Amino acid sequence: MRLVVFGMALGLTLISFRSYRDQPTERLQFAFLGFAFISMGVAFSTIVGQLGSETGETTLVLFRTVETMPFIIGFTMFYLSLYR
């Protein structure tokens, strides 16, 4: 299921990049960057989901933090593309 979500995120990133390339506006640039960071977040989620139970708690907290950052940046880019 995560692979399907990752594939869809990459597809949306590709579509937004093509739109930005055809019509290079600041809004489309922010939308493309938003989709790119969301795709990165989905990839990190897949990696974190594969960590075993033997992984230490500190390591899991670190990976969950790293996993969350691309989503925060991506949704900030979406906000900028809509309201800037």
Question: What's the pLDDT band for 79 if we cut at 50, 70, 90?
Answer: very high
| Cα 25 to Cα 84: distance, rounded to the nearest angstrom | 12
pLDDT of residue 58: 87
Q: What is the mean pLDDT of residues 71-80?
A: 95
pLDDT of residue 48: 82
H-type helices in 23-56, by residue range?
A: 26-49
DSSP letter, residue 7: H
Question: What are the domain boundaries of the chain?
Answer: 2-83
* Residue length of the chain: 84
pLDDT of residue 63: 86
CA dihedral (82, 39, 65, 75) in degrees, to 10, reads: 10
